[in-house]
Amino acid sequence: MPWLPLSQVWNIWKFGYEPFQAVGSDSLCLATPNGNMLWTCDTAIIKQLFTLHTVQVPVKILKFYDIWGPTLGSVEGEEWKTHRKVVTYGLNPSTLPTVWNEAIHQTRTLIQRWAQDDSVIPVAKHWTSRLALHVIASVFFDMKLDWREYTQAGKPPADGYRISFENALFTVVSRLGMIFIVPRTLMRILPFKALQDTHIALTDWTKYMQQLRAKATDNIEEVAAKRNKTILESVVVAGTPSAARPDNRALSEESVLGNIFFTLMAGHETTGNSLAFALLLLAVHPQHQSAIQRELDAHFGTRPMDEWTVEHDYQILRKGYLGATVQEVLRVYNVVQFIFRITIASTTVRDSKGVSHTIPEYTTCLINVGGAFHNPSVWTPTPVPASKKADLHHSPAIEFDPTRFLNISDEDDETFWPFGYGPRKCPGMPFAQVEMIGVISSMLKDHSLELVVSEKTLQNHKGNRQAAWEQTRDEAIRKLRDDVESNMNIQMVKELPIRLVERDMVA
Ligand code: HEM
C-alpha cells in the first residue's frame, strides 16, 4: 500500500472519494509520532477489519463517552457482549410501531409549525434533529414533546428540579462537546453561564433518568411483563437479574444510564442529519420526489394517515422507490464518514484485487465510509459532463440517483453497509429506517419540497422562472459540497432555504 504524501495529509479528512483519487490508491498508510495509521475505502479490506478478531474498537480513545459509567461504545470483549445484549433487547422490534406512529405525528405537527413561518425552512437540520429527539423521547421514555421552544420560560420543571425534562435533554445533547471535555466540578464552579447551564442540565437530566430507572426497578416484575416497554424499561429489565430471569447480568446504575444515553446519542444526530440531507436532496432533484409521490398515491389512495402501519405499509414502502431513496441518501451522504479500529496483533488482509497486505500490530485503521460509497470502481458515477461536475464543485449531490437501489435489497451488504458490518453493526438500523420512511412518506403525501428562488435571481433572469430555478439548483448543489461540515457526523448547518408547499393534486 502506498504511503500518504505529506502534501495530502489534510486532504485525507475531506469527505468522499476525492482524497483517494488524488493519490491514486484505495488504501494509504501514514507513520505518525503516535504510531502507524491506515486509511482505506477498499470494501474487501473494510469487511475484514469489521470482522477479524485481531482488529478491535480503539476503546481507550473512546472513554470520553463514559459520562456516567462504561457503555457498549467504550468497552470490548466479554464486557461489550453484556452491554450489547442489554441494548439490543432495548431496541427490540416491539418498539417499531411507536417509532412509526411518533415519526408521523411529529411530522404532521411540524408541518403546522412551519406554516407559522410561511413554510420556509432556512436550515433543515435544525428541525430534523429536533424531530429525531422527539421520537427518541417518546420511544425511550414515553415522554411526548411538542414544537414549543425549549426555554427556561417553557414548560415548568418537575418538583425538585431546576429545569424541565425536555430542556435538560435538549441542552445536554446540544452541548456534548463541552460535556466530554470539561470535568463536572470545573463546570459547576467556573463563572461562565454556558458552563453552568450545562451543569444544571446534566445534573437534572441525571436525576430524571435515575427517577425513571427507579420507577422501573421498583416494579420490575410488572414492567418485565408489559408488552410494550419503553427502551429505558427494557434496558433496566435486561440489566437486572431476578427470580424469573436469573441469567441476566446485573448492570450498575451508571451503566444503565450510560447505555441509554449512548444509544440516544448514537441515534439522534445520525438520523436527524440523514433526514436533513434527504429533504435537501429531494428539493434539488424534484423528479425523484415526484416518483415517490406517485408511489404514495398508488399505495395509500385516500386512506387516512392514522391508519398507516409499520407492519404493512412500512414493509411495502421500504422495498419501493422511497426505500431506494433512503438507501441512496445514506450512500451519497453517509453521516458516519469515518469508523475507527485498531489491530491488536499483526493482521493479514486481502484487498479487492486479491493482493495480500500485512498490517502491523497497533495500527490505527480508519475505515473511510464516504470514500467507499463513492468509489467509482463500485458505484457508477452519473453521466453528467466533466465540465459541469467541475462547475458544481464535484458535489456528491450530483451523484444522487435512487434508481440504482431499485433492484437491490437492503439485506444485500456486499458493497453497501451504511449501518456498519459484523458484530458491531448498528442495533438501531430498523429504528432509523422506520423513522426516515415514516417522516418522508407523511411529509410528501400531501406536500412537496422546493428550493426557494429569490426575487433577485428571478429579476436577473428577467422573470424566466425555469432559468432562475436552474441557477438556484446549481447553487444548492455547490452548497451541498462546500457547506457540509464534518464533526462527529457530517452535517449541513449553514442556510440552504427550502419551502414546503401543498401538493397540486390536479397536476
Ligand atoms: C441514519 C442513522 C444511523 C446510522 C447511519 C448509523 C450508523 C452506525 C454505524 C456505522 C455503527 C457502527 C460503528 C462501528 O462499527 O464502530 C453504529 C453503531 C451504533 N448505533 Fe447506529 N446509526 C444510525 C442510527 C442509530 C439509531 C436510531 C440508534 C438507536 C436508537 C443507533 C444506535 C447505535 C448503537 C448503540 C451503536 C453501537 C453498537 C456497538 O458498538 O455494539 N444508531 N451506527
Going from N- to C-terminal start, the domains of the chain cover 6-66+266-502, 77-265
What pLDDT, on a 0 to 100 scale, did the predictor assign at position 10? 64
Angle, vertex CA 25, rays to CA 20 and CA 31, nearest 5: 85
Edge-first strand listing for the sheet containing 55-56? 27-32, 35-40, 364-368, 338-343, 55-56
Residue written as cell 500500500? 1
Best CA proximity match to 339, nearest among 71, 55, 25, 6? 55
Residue 507 pLDDT:
43
Choose among 311, 298, 64, 49: nearest CA to 179.
64
Ligand 1 and 427: CB distance under 6 A: yes
Give bridge partners of residue 359 from the DSSP assignment. 347
Rg of the chain taking only CA atoms, in angstroms? 24
237 is written with which cell numbers? 429489565
Q: 239: Cβ below 6 Å to ligand 1?
A: no
Distance CA 197, CA 327 (A): 39
| Gap from CA of 268 to ligand 1 centroid (Å) | 10
Spatial neighbors of 65 by CB under 8 A, at least 6 apart, are: 71, 73, 74, 180, 258, 262
Q: Please work out whether the CB of residue 67 comes within 6 Å of at least one atom of ligand 1.
A: no
Angle 491-440-96 (CA atoms, 0-180°, nearest 5)?
95
pLDDT at residue 149 in the model? 73
Name which residue sits closest to atom 25 of ligand 1, judged by CA. Answer: 267
Per residue of the chain (507 residues), what is the pLDDT tens digit? Answer: 777 766 666 666 677 788 788 778 888 888 787 788 999 999 999 999 999 999 999 988 888 888 888 899 889 999 999 999 999 999 999 999 999 999 999 999 999 999 998 999 999 999 999 999 999 999 999 999 999 876 655 678 888 899 999 899 999 999 988 998 898 888 988 888 999 999 999 999 999 999 999 999 999 999 999 988 999 999 999 988 877 777 777 788 899 999 999 999 999 999 999 999 999 999 999 999 999 999 999 999 999 999 999 999 999 999 999 999 999 999 999 999 999 999 999 999 999 999 999 999 999 999 999 999 999 999 999 999 999 999 999 999 999 999 999 977 666 778 899 999 999 999 999 999 999 999 999 999 999 999 999 999 999 999 999 999 999 999 999 999 999 998 778 999 999 999 999 997 544
Separation CA 52–CA 142 (nearest Å): 39
426 labelled binding-site residue: yes
Domain 6-66+266-502 has CATH 1.10.630: yes
